[in-house]
Amino acid sequence: MKILIQSARIISPGNEFHNKVCDIFIDEGIIKEIGQGLKVDADKTFTSPNLHASPGWFDAKVNFCDPGLEHKEDLNSGLQLAEAGGMTAVATSPDTHPKISNKAQIEYLINKSSMSPVQVYPFGALTDQLGGTVLAEMYDMQQAGAIAFSDAEKPVSSGIMYRALLYAKNFNGVIISFPFDSSIVGKGFVHEGKASIYTGLKAIPSLAEYMVVQRDLSLLEYTGSRLHFTGISCRESVNLIRDAKKKGLNVSADCYINNLCFTEEDVLGFNANFKTLPPLRSADDQLSLLEGLNDGTVDFVCSDHNPEDIENKEVEFDQAAFGTIGTQTLFSALRSIKNLSIDQIIQYIAINPRKVLGIHQSPIAVNQNANITLFDPSGEWEFNASNNLSKSNNSPLLGKKLTGKVLGIINNGILSTQQEREQIQGA
């Protein structure tokens, strides 16, 4: 198919076309020409007021609950909401039922999603069935398409982390650590601070996070391997990772969008949609995350899309499950953060996730694969029950007016636009 994108401002830091308004001509999924006023024979032409184009966005932490928990989300619904959120790629959690801990399960996810313009990059389990005792078949899973290895939110012992780092070093595998010591927390629900004092709910201290960061950095230095921290949320963790990077350790980190947009004060109303893991922390911690993003300590941002059904959310706060949905609103949520430029946002959700996880970059350039997100950074829209494409509704943004509208994506030779999706929904 021949596609012409007209008068789009290209946002691609470091690219020769960065911040220029251009036409982009794509033929059979390959960018053939970039310029102004292109005269070509196209099967589809797309333009829109205030149209922007960037390298395709990548949400590097989602749980699409497939296989086993499809009543919360399935791969089809997850891919559809990822399209609507401007994603051309997602990285999926292994915490399904059964867990993603062998080659066949990796192949299942990749094959089932092969017809979508959104590419699925699975995380494989670090330990067999996320059981925490025996290393999973990491090399075989990597050969099948797994891009990294994680036990999701499950605790990982020092011995397992040590052996995983050593083993993965043999094939340049990426080990992911979710720094959370549940033995310290017990049955904690909110950040230790204003949230725990004012609500009377059991606390989750920052110590439960940064102590694991400190441990895993020591193991990383000893093994000389490669490690990525997901869900960093407190100042101490940011400082430890900053120092480790200065020492030259092969470490990277991400944070979740909820910890950038909300703080512990948001839980004071006992709204279970603000119950997240890691918990919403202090304003000082939030500022530290933003500082970490600005100076490169924190590499990128992801949604931690975690669907939950009504039975697990519309209950008392202490009984509710952790987690929110967020892939469809990730860009708009980032747009709500003051002093965060469009260039920075594209760096955090398009370029850096691929760089860290070793995914091929497709720049907006002639003879490159067209992997592009189309958007209006100033477009306003309301996120509500009718346009929420998730099977679940556990979002604090439902019913809110948002800024930053996705107009479409191009990937795998497919142009998918918001206008077409709305027409299909209205039919």
For tokens 């932490």, the residue is 61
Is 407's pLDDT higher than 70?
yes
Q: What pLDDT digit, counting tens, does each position of 62-121 carry?
A: 999 999 999 999 999 999 999 999 999 999 999 999 999 999 999 999 999 999 999 999
Task: Report d(CA 65, CA 220) in Å as an integer.
Answer: 31
Q: Active-site positions?
A: 304
pLDDT score of 419: 80
Residues 6+ apart with CB under 8 A from 238: 232, 288, 289, 291, 292, 297, 298
Q: What are phi and psi of 349, to 5 degrees?
A: -120, 5
Q: What pLDDT digit, counting tens, does each position of 175-231 carry?
A: 999 999 999 998 999 999 999 999 999 999 999 999 999 999 999 999 999 999 999
Q: What is the overall mean pLDDT for the chain?
A: 96
Task: Report d(CA 422, CA 427) in Å as an integer.
Answer: 9
Q: What pLDDT digit, counting tens, does each position of 103-120 carry?
A: 999 999 999 999 999 999
Q: What pLDDT digit, counting tens, does each position of 236-255 carry?
A: 999 999 999 999 999 999 99
Q: What pLDDT digit, counting tens, does each position of 307-341 carry?
A: 999 999 999 999 999 999 999 999 999 999 999 99
pLDDT score of 425: 57
- With beta carbons less than 8 A apart as the criterion, state whether 236 and 282 touch: no
Percent of the chain scored above 70 by pLDDT? 99
Task: Report d(CA 275, CA 43) in Å as an integer.
Answer: 47
pLDDT score of 426: 56
What are the b/e assignments for 138-176, b being 16+ CB within 10 Å?
A: bbebbebbbbbbbbbbbebeeebbbbbbebbeeeebbbb
